[in-house]
Homo-oligomer: A and B are copies of this chain.
Amino acid sequence: MFSSIKKLLIGRPLKSTELGEQKLNKTKALAILSSDALSSVAYGPEQILLVLITVGTAAFWYSIPIAAGVLVLLVALILSYSQIIYAYPHGGGAYVVSKENLGMYPGLVAGGSLLVDYILTVAVSVSAGTDAITSAFPVLHAHTVAIAVLFVLFITLLNLRGVTESASILAYPVYLFVLALFILIVMGMYHIMTGRVSPALHSPIGTPVAGISLFLLLRAFASGSSALTGVEAISNAIPNFKTPAPTNAVKTLMAMGSLLALLFSGIVYLAYFYGVTPKAEVTVVSQIAEQTFGRHVMYFFIQGTTALILVLAANTGYSAFPLLAVNLAKDKFIPRMFTIRGDRLGYSNGIIMLGIFSTLLIIAFKGETEHLIPLYAVGVFIPFTLSQTGMVVKWVREKPKGWIMKLLINTTGAVISFIVSMMFFLTKFAQVWSILLFLPFIIFLFHRIHKHYEAVGDQLRLKTCEPAVPIKGNVVVVPVAGITHVVENSLNYVKSLSPDQVIAVYVHFEKEDEAIFEEKWNKWQPDVRLVTLPSPYRSIIQPLTKFIDTVQRKASESNYQVTVVIPQFIPKKGWHNILHNQSSLLIRAHLLFRRDVVITTVPYHLKK
């Protein structure tokens, strides 16, 4: 029944050989991997204005040079990631690049911050999208958390079905959002050029502003760069592209960068020219759209696609998290289960884990995850800095053809990313301090897991020179609860193996029991030695374990192996199990994990 529900929800299982069919072409890849980056346009420009307004609306013209700075950073990131894609065609996330060029710990810092960041991506994007919906339909406001959780569930199921199918569904809203913003920007420009927008609404560029400082401008720049979260998604996902994967990935990255640059500068420019002031209830994009179209159908189209792309931005996390998890798991830093492909060939464990953690975040913050945005941005810029520093080291070390140009690009990127990261710590410490606690913790965890896997591998590997101690003989201990078919069945089995010694053990709670049982036993199985153990505290496990320890101590002296054969009857129906005391399961679990004895379960299947 479970398997048929599963099939209904996520589709039939796929063979491993069907993997190729699941690869992405460029159009789908652009949709599936860029929703996070593109949706940032919905809040990036607003973040700049929110900082500038602290010194007054006259300072708004600074948004133009700041946006130019963000665009420079964007260009540097895009160029840098193109170089990474060619240099690491099997997936060049910040984790891989930092690890290979800077060493294990910088790699783990990058990997650790990204893992958490993808969870934040999902939680923040879904919550923001839900807010957009509940703003449109205020009756739903009381159910924010439930709606957000349903969205996460929905996206999780889409991803469990597999990447291609989710891409088909996700392509439309992303392209509709791009279309909507393009129409908005073009119409806005048209209004400005035809003189329908009063020039009095904005202060000219270069107007002197009292109270402006470099600190404030850097802070505005850092805030604006939150529009760049998500650009690394493509470089993580190269193995998902159709061949030639690197070329297709770079083309997709360029397309995404161009779209992002166009939309971002268009919105910043319109906001500046319209003199838009950020408000708590109405977003900047909403204000621009309203001034351009009025409360027209186009306004609702823009708001609707914005809400949709915010929810779907969460999907970027679903593409990136499982792939990063595979890389970390292959290097033995997180549990091995993340490397296993599920029925539909996606890395189900990563997908499910991401769904669970982001749901927990949404519930813990009651759907108000917006104040996690600075944490989210700093978690992106730390790996940006590390991976670009890694590329700098790579070029200096390898000095390939044209390396000076490449070095310049990555150095620029690294320096700007580093400054942005530092700006977050300096200007928004109250919101980002937790990463300073969390990163050391997760790296410690990675380290412990790694050490364990290494130790296990070491102990399992055959050192062919060292011969194993041969087993000289076998002693079998059979705990018996009575004179029944179950016990008879087990004894028959034991006799067929003809071990060197068989001991039946009976634990009794009442003194009177002992003699009666011994008599019955000797009539029934005179050839099997019976040991009876008293149990004044009514525990079966305790006297049994003590007895087995004694047997094992003696047996090991002469290299004999002790096997405990447990007779177990298996009820016909699952619910019947709660009617029986499961002593055999308890005995098995207790012995297996604590003693060096072989445990054999002889099932006796009941027929009714």
Residues of chain A having any CB pair with chain B under 8 Å: 13-17, 335-337, 340-341, 343, 449, 452-453, 455-456, 459-462, 468, 470-474, 482-486, 488-489, 492-493, 495-497, 499, 509-510, 524, 536-538, 561, 563, 568-571, 576, 578-581, 588, 592-593, 596-603, 605-608
**A485 with B459: CB separation less than 8 A:** yes
**B453 with A579: CB separation less than 8 A:** yes
CB distance from A368 to the nearest CB of B (A): 25
CB distance from A537 to the nearest CB of B (A): 5
How far is A510 from B16 in the complex, measured between Cα atoms in Å? 8
CB distance from A590 to the nearest CB of B (A): 12
User: Can you list 10 residue pairs at the A/B interface with Cβ under 8 Å?
Assistant: A15-B536, A335-B578, A336-B579, A340-B538, A452-B571, A455-B608, A460-B482, A462-B484, A468-B485, A599-B603
How far is A526 from B341 in the complex, measured between Cα atoms in Å? 33
**A484 with B461: CB separation less than 8 A:** yes
The residue that A606 contacts in the complex, of B449, B459, B581, B600, with Cβ under 8 A, is B459
What 18 new A-B contacts, CB under 8 Å, besides A16-B537, A592-B603, A593-B603?
Answer: A336-B580, A340-B581, A452-B576, A460-B486, A461-B484, A468-B485, A468-B489, A471-B493, A472-B496, A474-B497, A496-B561, A497-B497, A497-B499, A570-B592, A598-B602, A599-B601, A599-B603, A600-B601
Which residues from chain B contact A524 at a C-beta distance below 8 Å?
A: 462
How far is A456 from B14 in the complex, measured between Cα atoms in Å? 42
How far is A16 from B453 in the complex, measured between Cα atoms in Å? 47
Known A-B contacts A571-B456, A592-B601, A600-B600; A492 and B471 likewise in contact (beta carbons under 8 Å): yes
Looking at A459, A474, A484, A485, the one whose CB has the most chain B CB atoms below 10 A away is A459
How far is A510 from B17 in the complex, measured between Cα atoms in Å? 9
**B561 with A606: CB separation less than 8 A:** no
**A536 with B462: CB separation less than 8 A:** no
**A485 with B497: CB separation less than 8 A:** no
The residue that A474 contacts in the complex, of B459, B460, B496, B606, with Cβ under 8 A, is B496
Which residues from chain B contact A452 at a C-beta distance below 8 Å?
A: 571, 576, 579
How far is A561 from B600 in the complex, measured between Cα atoms in Å? 13
CB distance from A578 to the nearest CB of B (A): 6
Which residues from chain B contact A336 at a C-beta distance below 8 Å?
A: 579-581
Which residues from chain B contact A571 at a C-beta distance below 8 Å?
A: 452, 456
Known A-B contacts A488-B468, A580-B336; A538 and B459 likewise in contact (beta carbons under 8 Å): no
Which residues from chain B contact A561 at a C-beta distance below 8 Å?
A: 493, 496
- In the complex formed, the residue of B with least CB distance to A591 is B603
Q: How many copies does the complex hold?
A: 2
Which residues from chain B contact A482 at a C-beta distance below 8 Å?
A: 460
**B462 with A483: CB separation less than 8 A:** yes
CB distance from A355 to the nearest CB of B (A): 18
How far is A51 from B486 in the complex, measured between Cα atoms in Å? 62
CB distance from A402 to the nearest CB of B (A): 38
Which residues from chain B contact A600 at a C-beta distance below 8 Å?
A: 563, 598-601
How far is A455 from B510 in the complex, measured between Cα atoms in Å? 27
- In the complex formed, the residue of B with least CB distance to A339 is B581
How far is A483 from B488 in the complex, measured between Cα atoms in Å? 37
**A537 with B603: CB separation less than 8 A:** no
CB distance from A461 to the nearest CB of B (A): 7
Known A-B contacts A15-B536, A343-B537, A579-B336; A605 and B596 likewise in contact (beta carbons under 8 Å): yes
How far is A575 from B497 in the complex, measured between Cα atoms in Å? 36
CB distance from A11 to the nearest CB of B (A): 13
Which residues from chain B contact A563 at a C-beta distance below 8 Å?
A: 600
**A16 with B598: CB separation less than 8 A:** no
- In the complex formed, the residue of B with least CB distance to A499 is B497
**A492 with B470: CB separation less than 8 A:** yes
Looking at A571, A597, A603, the one whose CB has the most chain B CB atoms below 10 A away is A603
Which residues from chain B contact A593 at a C-beta distance below 8 Å?
A: 570, 603
How far is A340 from B473 in the complex, measured between Cα atoms in Å? 39
Looking at A452, A470, A492, the one whose CB has the most chain B CB atoms below 10 A away is A452
Which residues from chain B contact A608 at a C-beta distance below 8 Å?
A: 455, 459
**B510 with A456: CB separation less than 8 A:** no
How far is A488 from B570 in the complex, measured between Cα atoms in Å? 31
Which residues from chain B contact A598 at a C-beta distance below 8 Å?
A: 493, 600-603
**B15 with A337: CB separation less than 8 A:** no
The residue that A488 contacts in the complex, of B16, B455, B462, with Cβ under 8 A, is B462
CB distance from A468 to the nearest CB of B (A): 5
Which residues from chain B contact A579 at a C-beta distance below 8 Å?
A: 335-336, 449, 452-453
CB distance from A243 to the nearest CB of B (A): 19
CB distance from A451 to the nearest CB of B (A): 9
How far is A561 from B489 in the complex, measured between Cα atoms in Å? 11
Which residues from chain B contact A485 at a C-beta distance below 8 Å?
A: 459-462, 468
The residue that A17 contacts in the complex, of B536, B596, B602, B605, with Cβ under 8 A, is B536
CB distance from A308 to the nearest CB of B (A): 34
Known A-B contacts A453-B579, A592-B601, A596-B605; A569 and B509 likewise in contact (beta carbons under 8 Å): no
How far is A488 from B537 in the complex, measured between Cα atoms in Å? 40
Which residues from chain B contact A470 at a C-beta distance below 8 Å?
A: 492, 496
Which residues from chain B contact A484 at a C-beta distance below 8 Å?
A: 460-462
The residue that A471 contacts in the complex, of B17, B496, B578, B580, with Cβ under 8 A, is B496
- In the complex formed, the residue of B with least CB distance to A481 is B460
How far is A159 from B73 in the complex, measured between Cα atoms in Å? 70
**B538 with A341: CB separation less than 8 A:** yes
How far is A60 from B319 in the complex, measured between Cα atoms in Å? 78
How far is A607 from B462 in the complex, measured between Cα atoms in Å? 15
CB distance from A36 to the nearest CB of B (A): 29
How far is A267 from B17 in the complex, measured between Cα atoms in Å? 85
Which residues from chain B contact A472 at a C-beta distance below 8 Å?
A: 496
How far is A341 from B537 in the complex, measured between Cα atoms in Å? 9
